[in-house]
Amino acid sequence: MGKRVAIVGAGPGGLVAAKECLAAGLEPKVFEKSGRIGGVWAHGMWRSMRANLSKHTCSFSDFGMRAASEFPSPGEMVSYLEEYATRFGVRACLALETEVVEVRRRGERWRVATRDGCEEFDYLCVACGIFGSPWRPNIPGAERVKQLHAREYRGDVVAGDALVVGSAFSGAEIAADLASKGVRVACSGRTAHYYLPRLVGSVPVDLVFFDPPPTRLPTLEERHAALRKLAFDSAELLSPDTSKSPKLVISDSFVQFVDAGAIACRSELARFEPRDDDDAVDAVFADGRRVAVHTVIWATGYDASGLATLLPMEVLRDLEFDQFDKLQPLVLHLQTIHPSYPSLGFVGYYRGPYFGAMELQARLLAAIWSGAMPAPSREEQWKGCDEARRVRRGDEPGGRAQFPVDYVAHTDALARALGVGLRRGPISPSFPLRLVAYLRSVWVVLGARWRRSVCFAHS
């Protein structure tokens, strides 16, 4: 009998973790508190929403997405994940409607408690993502207005004038969705973003960024210049601060609605004040301007408080857990492992995980836990944790980044940990097999670069 692995969460990370564990001869069990798989794709999406990454990126290496849409809907994403679970025998590992209420250590093993009882496992994989607990700022007077979080938005027309707080991915898309329905919208944000279309010519914008890890990191000025070339131009938007790390948003119609006057961009929200003439309230912003508001939608993200009730306090302390750090709530090597806990791993537990990276994280954990390969040395893991701390602190020029890792560089680093990265060195007897595994994992990146070159050559 293989060693048992408890996997928390049946989103993309949990499903690929289970699949890789099965392939490595381990016995995974996936705990999912809801009644269906899919994670954030199955919950908290509005009807007209589309992924801001293409189907080439939102799929695993050995099971391509057959969705008709270049940018899948939530329904298409869930259907894909359901087909994936069926194809690789993951359904037999699922424990749906089974919430993990507590995890305790028993030596190097893990005791997982649900409302139905307790089980012990040799390994624990946390794959529940950081989007579990909606976060709202404490704004004076908010109790005076009807409010909902972006997770609760389903695409319905809201009553009266709407204020969307948050101008990043969800905020921009929800504001545009409301404007398309004739709702008068104000959008409040603290940060100026570059707003990019989903397609650059005929190429999905996510594929435009796929290149091998550079030999020289681009300067802050070069990063801003590159995004400026791709972004929509509008006099109605604040210009990004070029002394700070650039922030981007992918949205096809937000800027067009701003230019048309259907969305009013405002600075940071300060407070709400009552009005005498109708049932609205005044939203007052940091620059002193105000708008009448009937409904506020908080597109203010999530915190990682769910992990605080899942893992033991001493473990969280060693992992330097910060539930309010939306960039990187944990300090880990490769966002995956920690030298103090060899039987604990994470898949997709950071801001902005791509499917290819999650697949390699899962493959790395399965290879280590099954004994197919040794774990990276403790020295290497501690160096990785040091790098995570630097990212968290924002030590690089421009301060804290929008995302903790670069997709291509991260996947290559994970592949190197598996022994099949794009590096030169002596060839071991198992290299051909491991090279096939690596190429299978990063086919999206390499194929995307080829497609991009072909499209650009014929545009």
Give the tens place of pLDDT for each residue, 74-110. 999 999 999 999 999 999 999 999 999 999 999 889 9
**82 burial class (0-12, 13-18, 19+ CB within 10 angstroms)?**
middle
Both tokens of residue 280?
Answer: 């609205």
Whether 65 and 85 share a structural domain? yes
* Residue 404: closest CA among 444, 349, 358, 449: 349
For 277-310, letters b (16+ CB in 10 Å) and e give eeebbbbbbeeeebbbbbbbbbbbbbbbebbeeb
Which residue, 283, 300, 317, sits at the end of a domain? Answer: 300
Q: Is residue 250 part of a domain?
A: yes
% of the chain surpassing 90 pLDDT: 78
Q: Is residue 141 part of a domain?
A: yes
Whether 343 and 373 share a structural domain? yes
User: How high is the pLDDT of residue 130?
Assistant: 87
* Residue 355: closest CA among 57, 129, 87: 57
For 344-384, write each residue's pLDDT tens digit.
999 999 999 999 999 999 999 999 999 999 999 999 999 99
Whether 287 and 273 share a structural domain? yes
* Residue 337: closest CA among 356, 318, 313: 318
User: How high is the pLDDT of residue 1?
Assistant: 61
Whether 293 and 316 share a structural domain? no
Please give the Cα distance from 316 to 155 (Å, whole number): 37
Q: What is the pTM of this model?
A: 0.90
Q: What mean pLDDT value characterizes the chain?
A: 89
Residues of the chain with pLDDT under 50: 423-459
Q: Is residue 279 part of a domain?
A: yes
Q: Is residue 210 part of a domain?
A: no
Whether 176 and 113 share a structural domain? no
Q: Is residue 177 part of a domain?
A: yes
Q: Is residue 224 part of a domain?
A: no
**Pairing, β 269-274 against β 281-285:** antiparallel
For 193-211, write each residue's pLDDT tens digit.
999 999 999 999 998 887 6
**CATH number, domain with residue 281:** 3.50.50.60
User: How high is the pLDDT of residue 212?
Assistant: 67
Whether 94 and 160 share a structural domain? no
Both tokens of residue 148?
Answer: 């909902």
User: How high is the pLDDT of residue 220?
Assistant: 94
SS3 124: strand
What's the Cα-to-Cα distance from 99 to each of 7, 144, 311, rounded to whole Å? 12, 35, 14
Which residue, 300, 322, 344, sits at the end of a domain? Answer: 300
Whether 119 and 148 share a structural domain? no
Residues 6+ apart with CB under 8 A from 452: 203, 207, 208, 210
Whether 239 and 253 share a structural domain? yes
Whether 158 and 66 share a structural domain? no
Domain that holds residue 395: 4-133+303-453
Q: Is residue 216 part of a domain?
A: no
User: How high is the pLDDT of residue 213?
Assistant: 60
Please give the Cα distance from 382 to 387 (Å, whole number): 9
Whether 286 and 320 share a structural domain? no
Whether 403 and 363 share a structural domain? yes
Which residue, 247, 281, 300, sits at the end of a domain? Answer: 300
User: How high is the pLDDT of residue 437?
Assistant: 42
User: How high is the pLDDT of residue 242?
Assistant: 96
Residues 6+ apart with CB under 8 A from 385: 331, 332, 333, 338, 339
Count of the separate structural domains present in the chain: 2
Whether 266 and 405 share a structural domain? no
The answer to whether the beta carbons of residues 150 and 31 sit under 8 Å apart is no
Largest CA distance in the chain: 80
Q: Is residue 214 part of a domain?
A: no
User: How high is the pLDDT of residue 457?
Assistant: 36
